[in-house]
Amino acid sequence: MAETFSRFPVAIERGEGATLCDSEGKAYIDFGSGIAVNIFGANDEKWKAAVCDQLSRIQHVSNYYYSEPQLELAELLCFRTGAKRVFFGNSGAEANECAMKAARKYSFDKYGEGRKKIISLNGSFHGRTLFTLTATGQEAMHRYFGPFVPEVVSVDANIGAVKAASENACAVLIECVQGESGVEALDAGFVQALRAFCTERDILLICDEVQCGNGRTGKLYGYEHYGILPDIMTTAKGLGGGLPIGACLFFEKCEHTLQPGDHGSTFGGNPVCCAGAVSILSRLTEDFLLEVQGKSEYMRAKLKGFDGVKRVSGLGLMIGLEVDGSSKEIAKKCLEKGLLVLTAHEKVRIVPPLNITKTEMDEGLTILREVLRK
**Do residues 239 and 40 touch, judged by C-beta distance below 8 A?**
no
Kind of pairing between the strands at 19-22 and 27-30: antiparallel
pLDDT category of residue 8 using cuts at 50, 70 and 90: very high
Segment 175-204, tens digit of pLDDT: 999 999 999 999 999 999 999 999 999 999
Q: Determine the Cα angle at 30 with ends 25 and 35, to 5°.
A: 120
* DSSP-derived secondary structure for 193-238: HHHHHHHHHTPEEEEE-TTTTTTTTSSSSGGGGGT---SEEEE-GG
Counting every residue written for the chain, the total comes to 374
pTM of the model as a whole: 0.97
CA angle 353, 354, 358 (to 5 degrees): 90
For residue 300, which of 318, 326, 287, 327 has the smallest C-alpha distance? Answer: 318
**Residues 161-186, mean pLDDT to the nearest whole number:** 97
Return d(Cα 199, Cα 205) in angstroms, integer: 8
Condensed to tens digits (0 to 9), the pLDDT of residues 262-274 reads: 999 999 999 999 9
Q: In this predicted model, what pLDDT tens digit does every residue of 193-244 receive, in sequence order?
A: 999 999 999 999 999 999 999 999 999 999 999 999 999 999 999 999 999 9
* Distance of alpha carbon 2 from alpha carbon 198, whole angstroms: 42
Does residue 374 register a pLDDT over 90?
no
Task: Report, as an integer, the average pLDDT of 48-64.
Answer: 98
For residues 184 and 137, what is the distance between their CA atoms, to the nearest angstrom? 14
Q: What is the pLDDT of residue 25?
A: 97
3-state secondary structure of 88: strand
Q: What is the pLDDT of residue 263?
A: 98
pLDDT over 90 at 83, yes or no: yes
What's the sign of the alpha-carbon dihedral 105, 110, 113, 116? Answer: negative
pLDDT tens by residue, 99-113: 999 999 999 999 999
Residues 6+ apart with CB under 8 A from 69: 54, 271, 272, 274, 275, 278
Task: Compute the distance between CA of residue 50 and CA of residue 67 in angstroms, rounded to an integer.
Answer: 15
Can you list the domains of the chain with their CATH numbers?
12-43+286-373 (3.90.1150.10), 47-282 (3.40.640.10)
Four-residue CA torsion sign, 176, 318, 328, 241: negative
243-to-70, 237, 273, 274 alpha-carbon distances in Å? 14, 8, 6, 9
Annotate 108-119 with b (16+ C-beta within 10 A) or e (fewer): eeeeeeebbbbb
Mean pLDDT, residues 3-10: 95
Is the separation of the CB atoms in 158 and 190 below 8 Å?
yes
Alpha-carbon span 80 to 252, nearest angstrom: 14
**Which phi and psi angles does 154 have, rounded to 5°?**
-115, 135
What percent of the chain shows pLDDT beyond 70?
A: 100
Mean pLDDT of the chain: 97
CB 342 within 8 A of CB 5: no
**Separation of alpha carbons 319 and 31, rounded Å:** 10
Beta strands in the chain (DSSP E): 12-16, 19-22, 27-30, 85-89, 117-121, 152-155, 169-174, 177-178, 184-185, 204-208, 232-235, 246-250, 309-315, 318-323, 339-340, 342-344, 347-350
